[in-house]
Amino acid sequence: MTAREGERRRLYVVEVAQPGVAPVPESWPGPGMAGSDTLDVTFDAVRAIPVGEAGAYLERPGFHHGGIGVAACWHGGARAVARTLLAAARKWDLDPHALAHLGAVDARLVTVDALLDGAAAAVDADPHDRDGTAHLRTMRVRAAVEDAAGDVLGRVGRALGAAPLGHDAVHARAVADLTVYLRQHHAERDLAALGRAAAATRRDWEDV
């Protein structure tokens, strides 16, 4: 777990079987990501072992690389939502508007596939972030994937209406899960941080 130490966060190891650690029942009542069983946990005078210095958890290259991994999970969620629209197009004669949404969804998904492949190759080539680009790369990938996944959610909903949300439990769960998971991207706050980082870098887009 992490906790604040002054103005910075520090990573700690906590033995959850010790006295004073207690999950809070029913503290995740929403349907989105309910299967993760992510309950709140209270800590009362428990022993915690620090790992690294304050700030190291957020500043290590692996933290930024992990942010791309989360974005890949968002993309997987978007593909799960999109499969319902693709299945409908293969089964029914969809109207031109629904097909236009499918075309846009297809373009979004394959574009993100290529983006994630490129990001993975960059991480593999420089896992220790010696060129100092990991943070900017991660912000770019997360922004692009969040935008694409949100677009997929909206387009599938507009193409198919309420029917699969009410009658297809798998689809409804995928929509609910992705809606919650995407909020790990902090919207305009993260985009503003990306803008500041892009303005500060010496590299232009042609050099990326």
- Taking CA atoms, 186 is separated from 27, 56, 110, 154, in Å, by 22, 22, 24, 18
Q: Say how far apart CA 195 and CA 140 lie, in whole Å.
A: 10
pLDDT > 80? residue 43: yes
Percentage of the chain beyond pLDDT 90 is 77
Say what the pTM is.
Answer: 0.88
Superfamily of domain 60-207: Butyryl-CoA Dehydrogenase, subunit A, domain 3 (1.20.140.10)
Q: Smallest Cα–Cα separation from 80: which of 181, 11, 166?
A: 181
User: How many Å separate Cα 27 from the centre of its chain?
Assistant: 22
Predicted local distance difference test score (pLDDT) of residue 194: 96
pLDDT > 90? residue 192: yes
Residues 6+ apart with CB under 8 A from 164: 84, 88, 171, 172
Percentage of the chain beyond pLDDT 70 is 98
* CATH 1.20.140.10 domain residues, the chain: 60-207
Predicted local distance difference test score (pLDDT) of residue 208: 54
Each residue's pLDDT tens digit, 129-186: 999 999 999 999 999 999 999 999 999 999 999 999 999 999 999 999 999 999 999 9
- Taking CA atoms, 113 is separated from 75, 154, 156, 162, in Å, by 8, 19, 19, 28
Q: Find the DSSP H helices in 126-203.
A: 134-160, 163-167, 169-181, 187-200
pLDDT > 70? residue 206: no
Predicted local distance difference test score (pLDDT) of residue 202: 75
Quick one: angle between helices 169-181 and 134-160, nearest 10? 150
Mean pLDDT score of the chain, rounded to an integer? 93
Q: Are the C-beta atoms of 37 and 23 separated by less than 8 Å?
A: no
pLDDT > 90? residue 48: yes
Q: Say how far apart CA 133 and CA 111 lie, in whole Å.
A: 21
Predicted local distance difference test score (pLDDT) of residue 207: 57
3-state helix, strand, coil in the chain (%, to 5): 65, 10, 25
Mean pLDDT of 2-15: 90
